[in-house]
Amino acid sequence: MMGPAHSLSGAMAWLGVGLATSWAGAPMPWAVLLTGTLICAGAALAPDLDHKSATISRAFGPPSRWLAALIDKLSAAVYNATRGRRDRRRSGGHRTLTHTWVWAVLIGVGFSAAAIFWGRWAVLIILFIHMVLAVEGLLWRHARPSSDVLVWMLGAAAAWILASILDQPGNGSAWLFPDHPYLWIGLPIILGSIVHTIGDSITISGCPMFWPLSIKGRRWYPAGTPAFMRFRAGSHVENAVLMPTFMVVGGVCGAGALYLA
């Protein structure tokens, strides 16, 4: 799928989690619901950091482009080192390492650990990164023709405001883990990455999200729906069917989560 659809699916997924936790008796404070939705929307773009032309690779100027080139080489190296007997050798790493559930969990755990060990400044950096990505993904029609600096300023302002709100008693910095504020921050990051892989699995190329499990002699098996159910990224199905569905389902889940909180 393309970036906007990935972001909308990430936002919908966290709103769905918000509704589920309300039903389970552990409702999210509204600030966690909002912040997590934006983080998840941004994180749903992150797996494409292995592609130089992806939204995330362009979002932060030269540093993100350099990082994308590094991730591409790392992904290709891991792919070739772990490929199964039926996996062909590759020179590029797109849709390999960063499109696995192992990567999703490692990245989410890493961000949670950073928030715990380095405190507020780590939280602000994590929020800034994902707020910028959320703007790029959810407000793509306005973000793309705008100056990168304006998008960064909006991301920084959103990060500061949200962190200040979350830090107020009862607003959610310690949601779910009372003794470890912001430990939950990795959850929407993990979910966003996983939702990205699921989105790619319903396109023609599929997605090797189950690596390193071997499927049909391939550790990088492009898992996905049956062939007749797949579509090309950016197609009419994505733009006219899936994106409106994501918005409607997300809105219903968000309203339900707030009502039950």
Q: What is the mean pLDDT of the chain?
A: 92
- Quick check: 100 pLDDT over 80? yes
What is the rounded CA–CA span in Å between residue 208 and residue 223?
6
Amino acid 52: pLDDT? 86
Residue 207 phi, psi (nearest 5): -150, 130
pLDDT average, residue stretch 131-144: 82
DSSP code at position 24:
T
Residue 11 in tokens: 């936002």
Domain positions in the chain are 2-46+101-260
Rounded to two decimals, what is the model's pTM? Answer: 0.94
Per-residue model confidence as pLDDT tens digits over 4-38: 899 999 999 999 999 999 999 889 999 999 999 99
- Quick check: 134 pLDDT over 70? yes
Per-residue model confidence as pLDDT tens digits over 202-217: 998 899 999 999 999 9
Amino acid 139: pLDDT? 86
How far are the Cα atoms of 135, 136, 178, 237, 247 from residue 43, in angstroms, in the given order? 12, 11, 24, 23, 17
The amino acid sitting at 246 is F
Amino acid 141: pLDDT? 63
Report CA Rg, the chain. 18
Q: Which residue has the higher pLDDT, 1 or 87?
A: 87
- Quick check: 185 pLDDT over 90? yes
Residue 253 in tokens: 């889940």
pLDDT average, residue stretch 250-257: 95
- Nearest CA to 172 out of 43, 13, 18 is that of 18
Per-residue model confidence as pLDDT tens digits over 153-171: 999 999 999 999 999 988 8
Residues with Cβ within 8 Å of 136's Cβ and at least 6 positions away in sequence, in order, are: 3, 7, 42, 45, 55, 56, 59, 143, 144, 151
pLDDT average, residue stretch 255-260: 92
Amino acid 231: pLDDT? 83
